[in-house]
Amino acid sequence: MSNMLDMGSMNENASMKEMKNNKHINLVVTIFLLGVFMGVIDTGIVSPVREIIASYFNVNFNTSIWLITAYTITYAIFLPIVGSIADQYGKIKVFRISIIIFGVSSLLCGISGIFNVYWILIISRIFEAIGAGGMMPLATAYIGEAFPMNKRGYALGLVGAVYGVGTAIGPTLGSLIVNIFGLDKWGLIFLINVPISIVVLILLMNVKDESIIKFKKKIDVKGGIVLSLLILSLMYSLTNLNFGNILESLINIKVYPFFIIFIILVPIFIKIESNSNNPILNLVYFKDRNICTTLILSFCICFTMADLIFIPQLAANVLRLPAGSGGYFVTVVAIFSALFAPLGGKLIDKFSVKNELIIGFISIILGGVILSFITTKTCDVFSLIIALILTGIGNGLTMGTPINYLMECFVPKENATSGQAAAELLRSIGTALASNLLINFMSNARNNIPHTIEQILLNFNINNKSITYSFSHVSSSMANK
């Protein structure tokens, strides 16, 4: 009888311990997801108000783009660095520091208008991206480890859902804020991060990092510096490349020196990482066929999704919606991403990752085809919504869950964070690279508009000297905007 009572007591204690452990895991998962949401949302929140901010600081089109590219480039650079540090010093500890950096820099972004100096805002955005770089890989690695294999797909689906919604809802939130509070209150798009950061820090006070690091390895400082210079030189050269006249622009002083630097740094980086005991980007990942394929897919997914940043400009310039309101259309992507990301996680647990990725890519391609060949030709709102629905479905099925799941399966547990950071690095490079290419195309098209209109008028025999003077004046004016 006493043995039965003892067994019952033991079972009860085990049950209570399991419940307590589950509550702790749920709390930490919630905290991490809040961090992911903040970090990702800031990638696109600037997009619908970028021209408003540019007008406020009186900077031209190309300069205003650094609001986006400075964030995405820095984010890409610090992902593997923070991931490597977290594997040694603990995920919670590094996550806490990342939240502090992100919250303080968001505050500085929000009040930068007081100083009326554009580069204060850009520098604050860079530090904001440093903080954000410590959120996504840490969250993915922790959540992937916290759940058993049969529930891991669903758990990572939550991360994918938050990532997809954050990416898509950023422009919508930016539009909403400036439409409610006024165009001159653009600083609020950054200040909303401050109270959320404070809440996350308060919640983290009750969480201890359970990671025990027995052998701390030396941080790969050389690799981090070379990787930073490598990415920065590539992105800067692409930003200044003129796709209207590639051969001529290649000899531009703002292009070819940085391409040369990039080419020189690639073998140097490979040598440094090959000899490092704790590499920033583990090159072994690229020798493993499964991991390498996963990383390439990660790059391709975000490369194709970068056009969402410019949907607000499409709505404003083609559909003629009021300034700052174009971001509302991206809500469609957010809704369908949120619906299909957790569903995708469940599908992985029951079926295969391969089939889910195929369906997701087909959906993204169909959305892109409709957007490129129908919406831009007809200026039809209905076709735009259909394209965004398909894009949202594809986003939900591909963006986070499958890639995170595959990395969790293929990468050893002790390298979980750096593995997720590598995947996130490729995502960010894809986003930044595609953004830079699109920016160049838009900038070149913008500069060619006056000349194109002049040629059309000349074809109608409207050949007056005043027209030539007028469009020369317009061309020079647009180049300065």
pLDDT tens per residue across span 333-374? 878 887 887 777 777 777 778 888 888 889 999 998 998 888
Residues 176-210: b if buried by 16+ CB within 10 A, e if exposed: bbbbeeeeeebbebbebbbebbeebeeebeeeebe
Q: Given pLDDT bands bounded at 50, 70 and 90, which one contains residue 34?
A: confident
Three-state DSSP at 436 gives helix
Share of the chain above pLDDT 90, in %: 17
What is residue 467's predicted lDDT score, i.e. its pLDDT? Answer: 45
Which residue bears the tokens 């404070």? Answer: 198
Instruction: Say if CB 116 and CB 2 are below 8 A apart.
Output: no
What is residue 168's predicted lDDT score, i.e. its pLDDT? Answer: 67
What is residue 468's predicted lDDT score, i.e. its pLDDT? Answer: 45
Q: How far is residue 364's CA from residue 115's CA, in Å, rounded to a whole number?
A: 42
Q: Given pLDDT bands bounded at 50, 70 and 90, which one contains residue 97?
A: very high
* Cα-trace Rg, the chain: 24
pLDDT tens per residue across span 376-399? 788 788 888 899 999 989 888 887
Instruction: Say if CB 70 and CB 120 are below 8 A apart.
Output: no
Tokens of 158: 């939550």
Q: How far is residue 472's CA from residue 481's CA, in Å, rounded to a whole number?
A: 15
199-204 mean pLDDT? 91
Q: Given pLDDT bands bounded at 50, 70 and 90, which one contains residue 445?
A: low
Dihedral over Cα of 436, 438, 444, 450: its sign: negative
Amino acid 58 reads: N
Out of 5-14, 201-210, 231-240, 291-300, the most confident range is 291-300
Lowest mean per-residue pLDDT among 27-41, 148-162, 371-385: 148-162
75-102 mean pLDDT? 83
Q: Given pLDDT bands bounded at 50, 70 and 90, which one contains residue 451?
A: low
What is residue 472's predicted lDDT score, i.e. its pLDDT? Answer: 45
pTM (2 d.p.): 0.73
Q: Residue 331 contacts by C-beta under 8 Å, 6 or more apart in sequence?
A: 168, 169, 172
* Averaged pLDDT score across all residues of the chain: 78
Q: Given pLDDT bands bounded at 50, 70 and 90, which one contains residue 19?
A: low
What is residue 470's predicted lDDT score, i.e. its pLDDT? Answer: 47
Tokens of 266: 């690639």
Instruction: Say if CB 138 and CB 87 are below 8 A apart.
Output: no
Burial of 335 (0-12, 13-18, 19+ CB in 10 A): middle
Q: How far is residue 412's CA from residue 104's CA, in Å, rounded to a whole number?
A: 34
Tokens of 24: 């702790």
What is residue 477's predicted lDDT score, i.e. its pLDDT? Answer: 47
Q: Count of CB atoms within 10 A of residue 320's CB?
A: 8
Lowest mean per-residue pLDDT among 107-121, 236-250, 388-402, 452-466: 452-466
Instruction: Look at residues 294, 287, 342 and name the one whose alpha carbon lies nearest to residue 155.
Output: 342
Which residue bears the tokens 């590219």? Answer: 69
157-166 mean pLDDT? 73
Q: Given pLDDT bands bounded at 50, 70 and 90, which one contains residue 279?
A: confident
What is residue 443's predicted lDDT score, i.e. its pLDDT? Answer: 67
Instruction: Say if CB 399 and CB 73 are below 8 A apart.
Output: no
134-153 mean pLDDT? 74
Q: Count of CB atoms within 10 A of residue 64's CB?
A: 20
Backbone torsion region of residue 379, taken as left when φ is above 0, otherwise alpha when ψ lies between -120 and 50, otherwise beta: left
Helices within 133-255 (DSSP H only): 136-146, 149-181, 188-191, 193-204, 221-239, 246-250
Q: How far is residue 285's CA from residue 288's CA, in Å, rounded to a whole number?
A: 5
